[in-house]
Structure 1
């Protein structure tokens, strides 16, 4: 089945899984997150965050489709726009890096390279924009819920797709993918995607699909 990667916009934000649309773990400081959850305003806050990043900084996420079905997504932004990052013991992120935040692939689609394809799509976007590196806080002991969802990306996955630990920690290491040294990201990322997934289309347009 064909696979495609598109940019996240306000028009397709609702295609994220419901628990992800309602999750503001990264987008709000902990005390504001609790307030938003108490008053049932998390979806509004999520949309407002994405809208603000798109207006002030540009593209901040990707959705991957299998056919017309959205099966995974990633969000990323400058560290200054990610309040939760201040709460990690391995903060702050490097000033030359963009921070990878929310990341999810549906459990039934894992193991087929979709996670790696999302990381490659992010690398391609940021390389074109002159960004030097991607960083992420990893979960060294992940404990995903019954739907396979976790707010922090497993550190082991990040290491498998090329991230290196720059600040170790028994629970929350900070990892980095240096786009300067990964020269093949810029020139060969489309070829790598094609080799990994077959024929892949990367576009900013939203494909026709049944909303979920």
Structure 2
């Protein structure tokens, strides 16, 4: 079984799951995202966002392949490129951190270490760029797959709460700690990425 990772580009954007290619939950503010959906051009807006981040900042995602079949992905970017982050009651993201937006391992490929590979690739990429930390908004009441990562799982894999909230706490992982992550933490990360699916959701986030 051949496994490989590739940086997300406009050329391989089509390899994201179909519901994710047209999802603009993170990439646009709620009003703009709804307008894009009404105009039936969400995929075009997604391409525009990817292009802008690639040109201005660089790689903002990774895709995992198994025998050349897309099996999972992760998206991340500085908060300045993620308008939806401002809709959270625990915003803003710290100025020295990159936002872990979302990630997913397709069901047929869970339990094969792909989540671990993706997270390690993100950590290495950001460390090379001099980034100090990764932050994420967690959902403390997470029950079903959504665009927001479950807070409980983020805490289980080493994130620490930096701003509490009954529903949407903001959590942080210092990148220097990723160098010595233990095997059980990496397995937990794989479970986290396997549990999350990116589904469209355009509602503002309340306090």
TM-score under structure 1 length normalisation: 0.81
Distance 1:143 1:129 in 2: 35
2:134–2:173 contact (8 Å) kept in structure 1:
yes
Aligned partner (choices 170, 175, 197) of residue 174 of structure 1: 170
How many residues of Structure 1 are paired with residues of Structure 2 in the alignment? Answer: 187
Q: Does 1:98 align with 2:74?
A: no
Task: Note the C-alpha offset of 1:6.
Answer: 1.2
Distance 1:162 1:6 in 2: 25
1:16–1:70 contact (8 Å) kept in structure 2:
yes
Task: Note the C-alpha offset of 1:111.
Answer: 3.5
Q: Equivalent residues in 2 for 1:6-17 (5 A)?
A: 6-17=6-17
Task: Note the C-alpha offset of 1:103.
Answer: 1.2
1:116–1:161 contact (8 Å) kept in structure 2:
no
Give the structure 2 partner of residue 156 of structure 1. Answer: 152
Q: Does 1:115 align with 2:111?
A: no
What is the CA RMSD across the aligned residues, in angstroms?
2.4
Give the structure 2 partner of residue 130 of structure 1. Answer: 130
Deviating runs (4+, > 6 A) in structure 1?
none
Where does structure 1 lack aligned partners over 5 or more consecutive residues? Answer: 198-212
Q: Equivalent residues in 2 for 1:1-212 (5 A)?
A: 1-144=1-144, 149-184=145-180
Q: Deviations over 1:146-192 (max 9, x none)?
A: xxx5211122332333222222222211111101344447xx9xxx9
